[in-house]
Amino acid sequence: MPEVIFPGPDGRLEGRYHPQKAKDAPIAIILHPHPQFGGTMNNKVVYNLHYTFYRMGFTVLRFNFRGVGRSQGEYDQGVGELSDAAAALDYLQHLNPNAKHCWVAGFSFGSWIGMQLLMRRPEISGFITVSPNANMYDFSFLAPCPSSGLIINGSNDRVVPTADVDALVEKLHEQKGITVTHEMVDGAGHFFEEPHMETLTSSVDSYVRRRLTENTR
């Protein structure tokens, strides 16, 4: 899988780009957890989400936010990181102008950034949110949430209480015109350590394949 360097708003950004042969393949970007707590594009959840989308026929890009790895810049409280995500999506779309669908997947801090990107980019047709930090970040900007998607967390998450995720999901369920699916993996922690990683990727695979099938009818 080729390493890529592409322009960001505060310097170059480092990524991993995994294209499909089909020119009209759907595209997806994967967003990593908090840069100041060891989050990188090589996080196990991010890595596994990347390959889950690729195996489903997506052209996939994951990348390091500013100040992480070989990406230039410094941590910017989420503001600059949202700009980084927008730049990554621009780059991915430039390489794949004929993509049929566009998805965003984020883990932990990356889920917060991903949901904000969703609000700003109407071309995003679906989202995957893993272990959203509903106790740390304000998700009230999802009013209304513009697209259907999957929120998945673990019942033994010690970083984000399940009650906070439940409250977020309940608020999103009140909205009309979209369907937010919620799955809680029994026994899984915030990082979906084994043996729960396979359950996570299987759930994502099943959900995305179902959505793609519905869109082609």
* Residue 58, pLDDT score: 98
Q: What's this model's pTM, rounded to 2 decimal places?
A: 0.97
Name the token pair of 79: 């503001």
* Residue 214, pLDDT score: 87
Q: Per the structure, how many domains does the chain have?
A: 1
Q: What percent of the chain has pLDDT over 90?
A: 96
* Residue 44, pLDDT score: 98
Q: Is 18 exposed, middle or buried (CB count within 10 Å of its CB: 0-12, 13-18, 19+)?
A: middle
| Ranges of the chain whose pLDDT falls below 50 | none
Per-residue pLDDT reduced to its tens digit, 20-61: 999 999 999 999 999 999 999 999 999 999 999 999 999 999
CATH number at residue 191: 3.40.50.1820
* Residue 171, pLDDT score: 93
* Residue 216, pLDDT score: 61
What's the 3-state SS for the chain?
A: CCEEEEEEECEEEEEEEECCCCCCCCEEEEECCCHHHCCCCCCHHHHHHHHHHHHCCCEEEEECCCCCCCCCCCCCCCHHHHHHHHHHHHHHHHHCCCCCCEEEEEECHHHHHHHHHHHHCCCCCEEEEECCCCCCCCCCCCCCCCCCEEEEEECCCCCCCHHHHHHHHHHHHCCCCCCEEEEEECCCCCCCCCCHHHHHHHHHHHHHHHHHHHHHC
Q: Domain residues for 207? A: 3-216
Per-residue pLDDT reduced to its tens digit, 193-213: 999 999 999 999 999 999 999
